[in-house]
Amino acid sequence: MRGISVIVPVYNSEEYLEKCLKSLVNQTLKDIEVIIINDGSTDGSQSIIDNFESVYPKIIKSYNMKKNSGLGFVRNFGISKATKEYVAFVDSDDYVDEDMFEIMYNKATEDKSEIVECDFIWEFPNKNNIDSGSFYDNVKDMLIKVRVMACNKIYNISWLKKVNPQFAVGLKYEDVLFTYQYVPYVKKVSFVKEPFYHYVQRSNSLANYQTKRVADMYEILSQVLSFYKDKKIYNKYKTELEYLFIRYLLGSSYKRACKIKNNRDKKEVLNKGWKFLNDTFPNWKKNKYLNKSGLKNKYFKLMNKPLYKFNSILFKIWR
């Protein structure tokens, strides 16, 4: 069936939900369904959902999970309920431009793409930053460059169900597993260089407060490796996977660990991350991507255990 199914997981987001849903029911694309899944909210989110469904019964389909099951579970459930040609994901505290899905769908049908990707806006209380992606030359290039955020893309549903990537259940960073499970099977990705998606950052968001669950990334990366080994494609992409580990365990996950408030948990998570990288890829310093230009690659290549610990002291996180 032509059009796009938009999956919207909802959990205690009554403050933002109306703005999100208005941006979806007012899309210029007419062939659209909005699948709203209330994941056990305890606030007034269900009342807002009921109101929108009564006003827009031809657009909105809603499900009430009663018990909170997590974002990964809800997104996987939503895929099973999608009936349109393409599927998209929108978080209930974000919103999108009203022509987003018409433009992206037209691009998908024109190019016969499995995925269409757009840029997005990091929307902070006092400023906005545009996140602009780059084109992928091949699968290896995509493994290095892909932005794992699921919400700035639309996916061909037939292809997606055939490849069957899964959002991680019961873990944070569920997008990471989902993304790296489908990347080896992508043949055509198209880009729309417009920041249609507004990724709303709040003062109490994860970017500002971290817990021991930063270590969930280690389990996610373990599952990624297991997937590539089970599919017998690990050796083909080993160098790229190694570089991913470097980037996460010395980059983004390291930065998150730096923001853990409990000092004992910080030390535990950081020690675990360093051990995980070196046990999995003991020769990671020889990775060819570290020889490419850029300050981050120079920083990664210089990293050793004393520097890893010293940087933690600078951030006042190692005690």
pLDDT value of residue 204? 52
Reported as a single tens digit per residue, the pLDDT across 53-79 is 999 999 999 999 989 999 999 999 999
Cα 3 from chain centroid (whole Å): 23
In a domain, 291, yes or no: yes
Mean pLDDT of the 240-247 span: 98
Average pLDDT, the chain: 94
Domain that holds residue 177: 4-200
**pLDDT at 208 > cutoff 70:** no
For residues 204 and 137, give the distance between their C-alpha atoms in angstroms, rounded to a whole number.
Answer: 38
162 with 18, same domain? Answer: yes
Mean pLDDT of the 23-50 span: 98
Mean pLDDT of the 188-206 span: 86
Tokens for 300?
């990664």
pLDDT value of residue 210? 83
In a domain, 88, yes or no: yes
Residue with tokens 């997005």: 120
In a domain, 248, yes or no: yes
Reported as a single tens digit per residue, the pLDDT across 154-183 is 999 999 999 999 999 999 999 999 999 999
239 with 261, same domain? Answer: yes
At 319, the pLDDT band (50, 70, 90 cuts) reads very low
**pLDDT at 149 > cutoff 60:** yes
Tokens for 68?
């909170």
241 with 296, same domain? Answer: yes
At 209, the pLDDT band (50, 70, 90 cuts) reads low
86 with 223, same domain? Answer: no
If residue 197 lies in a helix (H) or strand (E), which one and from where to where? strand 189-200
For residues 260 and 212, give the distance between their C-alpha atoms in angstroms, rounded to a whole number.
Answer: 7
